[in-house]
Amino acid sequence: MTEMTMTPRHVAVVGAGLAGLACAEAVQASGDTVTVFDKSRGPSGRMSARRGDTWQCDHGAQYFTARDPAFRAEVDRWVEAGVAALWQPRLSVFGARPAAEAGEPTERFVGTPRMTSPAGFIAQRLAVQLQTTVTALVRQPAGWQLLTAEHGLLDTFFDAVLLAVPSPQAVPLLQGPAPEWAAVAAGARMRGSWALMLRYDAPLSLPFDAAFVNEGPLRWVARDSSKPGRPAGPGETWLLHAEAEWSEAHIEDTPEEAAALLLAAFEALGAPRPAAWTAHRWRYADTAPPLGEGALWRPDLALGVCGDWLGTGKVEGAWLSGRALAARLIGAVRPA
């Protein structure tokens, strides 16, 4: 029997961040049926943006690079579709400067009109079930079933399950079917991060659009309004990201406590007090360091794991990890 005449598998992908979406898109393109599940209200994971009545601000990933040829081709597809663009901010560095990067200057891309746009572009061609928190994987003779917090045990049986969630969320899902992988996930150190979104009634006169801050509680500040495709307005928004170890030490602070310290640090760079602010606490912002495994796949269980924490980190690492897992599934021998 040839591959073309085989019955499509029904594959569950848990996690609608970029790793999960990239994986699901490739698996679906191979001819299998895919359903993506995510606990959030929308796809994108940490490629996130917050919106109010008169403002928006990227508060997760701030930009992404595209050094791998396959991912660069994907970014070119996004740019052609109008969901990503090159961002060329006036960039400053405060504090001790790191060693200069070799080679060409870094190209930084962003989603347009917000960082969630590439994920939305991929997700629109997929079956995505949102606000569904998968709490356990149940192996049955007929295949996998998913236990969820909102809907109980789902009736559907899946031929394979692919996890694309942060490592701390993967641990309880893997403990039953693949305890050795649960141990791998438990060994990945994911760090938290505070993000502060600031609204100003008028543009700031600061001589930079983004800055790396290598001292104090801040590590990154950006004039979100300077990114391409953002709505024009009389005011503007800024994003402050706290340093990872500082965030870990202050992860249980109230938003007011964290904001007071971050605003003071931004003022030290010459910024005035904002008209309003919103804080977001990322429990799982990055992995220190990423494991460099690419993806995990057990053909005997039809179970796989992907994510930036398994790859090389960042947006590019998430996409590459998702595609690596898809390739493992697509190349797997199907049961007779």
Helix 314-330 and helix 18-29, axial crossing angle in degrees, nearest 10 = 30
Domain assignment present for residue 39? The answer is yes
Statement to judge: residues 249 and 311 lie in one domain:
no
Statement to judge: residues 215 and 255 lie in one domain:
yes
pLDDT at 2: 41
pLDDT at 104: 56
pLDDT at 101: 42
Statement to judge: residues 104 and 203 lie in one domain:
yes
pLDDT at 100: 44
Give the integer Cα–Cα distance in Å for 239 and 246: 17
* Single pTM value for the model: 0.93
Statement to judge: residues 43 and 127 lie in one domain:
yes
CATH number at residue 307: 3.50.50.60
Give the residue numbers spanning the domain of 238: 89-113+190-287
Alpha-carbon dihedral angle through residues 176, 180, 184, 187, given to the nearest 10 degrees = 80
Residue 34 Cα distances to 4, 263, 298, angstroms: 17, 44, 18
Domain assignment present for residue 68? The answer is no
Give the integer Cα–Cα distance in Å for 151 and 130: 12
Domain assignment present for residue 176? The answer is yes
Domains in the chain, number = 2
pLDDT in tens, 259-312: 999 999 999 999 999 999 999 999 998 888 878 889 999 999 999 999 999 988
Domain assignment present for residue 58? The answer is no
pLDDT at 107: 96
Statement to judge: residues 282 and 139 lie in one domain:
no
Statement to judge: residues 220 and 271 lie in one domain:
yes
pLDDT at 53: 85
Cβ within 8 Å of residue 23, ≥6 positions away: 13, 162, 164, 306, 322, 323, 325, 326
pLDDT in tens, 204-229: 999 999 999 999 999 999 999 999 99
Domain assignment present for residue 84? The answer is no
pLDDT less than 70: residues of the chain: 1-5, 97-104, 333-336
